[in-house]
Amino acid sequence: MSATVRVTRGVVVITPDQKRLTAHRGMPAVRTRLEEAVAQGKKAVAVDFSDVEYVDSAMMGILIDAFKGIHRNGGRLCVFGACEAVHEVLKNTVLDDLIEIASDEDAAIKALKGK
């Protein structure tokens, strides 16, 4: 289980390799990559949920922690490509008030770069 990291137009993009992100599956790799981005002082970070079908409350906690760290660095966090079920979890936990939610990678990069 891992998560790939790449930089596109100045934005760190983290892509989980699992369809289900739970405390024991997929989420630890995403957490590690987000923690690395925060430690490196990255200011534009996006998480690609395009292939993710399910997230649990542990993943929501990780996103909150990442938001706090990135915000403290003067940056922004965005999630993109979330399916309807994941989008509903983001809305129900009010994370969509803190974290940018975008439909795709281009929209995420534009939102994070202010273009």
pLDDT at 1: 58
- The partner residues of 13 in beta bridges, in order of sequence, read 6, 46
Q: Containing domain of residue 22, as a range?
A: 3-113
Structural domains counted in the chain? 1
Going by C-alpha positions, the residue among 42, 52, 31, 50 that lies closest to residue 7 is 42
pTM of the model: 0.94
DSSP character at residue 88: H
pLDDT digits (tens, 9 = 90+) for 65-83: 999 999 999 999 999 999 9
pLDDT digits (tens, 9 = 90+) for 86-99: 999 999 989 889 99
Helix or strand or coil: residue 38? helix
CATH number of the domain encompassing residue 52: 3.30.750.24
CA 76, 98, 29 angle in degrees (round to 5)?
A: 65
